Amino acid sequence: MEMYTREENATTVQDDPKAKDLLRGAFERTARWQPDFNGFQADLRINVDGKETKGTVTVKNSKDVTVNIADEDLKKWAQNQIGMIATHRGPRSFEESDGKYALTLEGDDSHPMGQRVTINGDGMGSWYRVKDNRITQINRKMPYVAFTINVEDSAVTQDQKYLTTRYTVYYFSPKDGSLTNVESFSDTHTRIGASDLPATRRIISYENNAIVTKTLTFDNHTML
């Protein structure tokens, strides 16, 4: 899965206070790094179907991730993956993220994944499902790809926040809706001071007519 940028578009849709409260509740129960988080350094091991590469990584924020390994293609892939982790974990307020859009409810809460919340005006036709104070599903559509993320499992941190540990991404053609790929993510974390930092990430995907398993392993974390 690659990083993406959401752009706010004008909309005449009015906020539904119930939708706002529902999504705010899930947002506030989601684990993020603390507001004074300055980043971390760690040793990094990347394993692609049994071939291991060692290096280091420095993470300051989602736009400042430096991976030091010789393989340029693998470096770019790792920086994208770690940048995504930093994007999802970075400190921000509800008003700075989904709260700045007009939110509405669709249907009821009988769906197994929970109530549908539509994010109007984000330029990606985004909508979520929320159940038990957790975002359980994310849907977005862009000109080159559409995807659905199903959150399958989460841990509860020392701060009593939900931290996703397992999710699957389904990729679709935006033209005809056909399935183009599936990626399965499994994450573990380690507590350093007041921060829950990435310890491992495993990704199973379909590439070049084969099932490929990649892992990122972070060791010897040092806070910046």
pLDDT digit string (tens) for 185-197? 999 999 998 999 9
Q: Give the H or E element holding residue 81.
A: helix 72-89
Q: What residue segments make up the domains of the chain, in order of their start?
A: 17-223
Give backbone dihedrals phi and psi of 37, rounded to 5 degrees, phi first: -65, 125
Residue 175: CA atoms inside 13 Å, Cβ hemisphere, count? 2
Helix (H) or strand (E) holding 18: helix 17-28
Q: Which residues of 173-188 are buried (b: 16+ CB within 10 A; e: fewer)?
A: eeeeeeeeeebebbbe
Residue 73 CB: number of other CB atoms within 10 A? Answer: 7
Strand partners of residue 93:
none
Per-residue pLDDT of 132-172, as tens digits, reads: 999 999 999 988 899 999 999 999 999 999 999 999 999 99
pLDDT category, 10, cuts 50, 70, 90? low
